[in-house]
Amino acid sequence: MDRRELLMAAVANGALAAAPAALAAAKLEGRATRTSAQAVRLDWEAPRRPASIFVSSDPDAQKPYMRAIRSGVRGGRAELPLPVSPRPYFLLSTPDGAQVRVAERLLPLQGGRNFRDLGGYRSADGRQVRWGRIYRSGVMSGLTLADMSYLSGLGVEVICDLRSVQERTSQPNPFQKAEAPRVVGTDYDMMSFDGLHRATTRAEAVDAFAASYVQFTEILAPQYTDLFARLVRRETPLAFNCSAGKDRTGMGAALILSVLGVPRETVVADYRLTEIYAPPSMYAGQAPHAGPSPGITPEQSQAFARMPREVMQVMRGSDPAVMRQALARIDQKFGGPIELAKARFGLTDARVAYLRGVYLI
């Protein structure tokens, strides 16, 4: 075992020692939702217990270094007058020692698409994925100057663009002309989606789409390998994106969360959020049967136009059945997402343990 592997093992062992405390904190869950540019609503699942609320612009700040803004709040809800920037991260705490960190999952961007934080999810051992470290997104070509300033203020270090060269050329990331964050991407041949073109029912579409997700792990193996390598090197905050932010990005998020030990149903629930944050109605300006994302070829557009409506609904949406079936195929073929990541994306048991030590609290 080399020096890096030893360091990874040490970090992992230290994190595992803290797991029992995290398990106790798992009794409290909450969420933050922005209701306006100047207000955030907190909801938590302990309405009968008084809760104290602390806030900081540092996602990892410990309670003594956070600002107390409410104490003894009952009812499981609080409305807080807080602006978009600096981004607020909250700690909810009850007298019996339970606590949970929460933040807005969907970033309040003016021109962003499906740009959201992977933080806050519970791992199987009760820890939480760190907020403000790993973001997933759709195409960023519509980001405004205010959006770019906001993201730069979050310290985003690198953006892994999973799109093809054609997509990146037709809808360039505005950060390509900025000093930071760095935008990285490599070329590859786009898939044909032949199975989807032949689908005539929802069930056939789910099956074909799930098969295409598994194909992503082959076609995008260099991109996913680079993504995990940057996480191992702690090049964070890091964002990764494709066009819609649900397919290539969705599989990347599922792999990352699975490696971090997040339960399967939580992984699937995160996938489904795209349909909430970037609903199919966003494509209403396209032709009635237009494709689900920018960057498709004219030939693909014609094929999409001939698809039955229920097949197109699967294409445009984020049906949980697609991700469940894709992960089930990975289970059958590789023994699970973690085994796949070790076989194809450069991870080892030590690196998996290291990533959990770094990105779980």
Residues labelled as active-site residues: 242
**H-run or E-run covering 20:** helix 19-25
- Given the DSSP bridges, would you call strands 30-36 and 77-80 parallel, antiparallel or unpaired? unpaired
Contacts of 57 (CB under 8 A, 6+ apart): 86, 87, 88, 89
Contacts of 74 (CB under 8 A, 6+ apart): 47, 48, 49, 50, 51
Q: Please name which of 169, 150, 173 lies closest in space to residue 160, comparing C-alpha atoms.
A: 173
Instruction: Kindly provide the residue ranges of all beta strands, DSSP E only, lying in the chain, ordered along the sequence.
Output: 30-36, 39-44, 51-56, 67-73, 77-80, 89-93, 99-102, 116-117, 134-137, 158-161, 182-184, 238-241
Distance from C-alpha of 212 to C-alpha of 191, rounded to nearest angstrom? 8
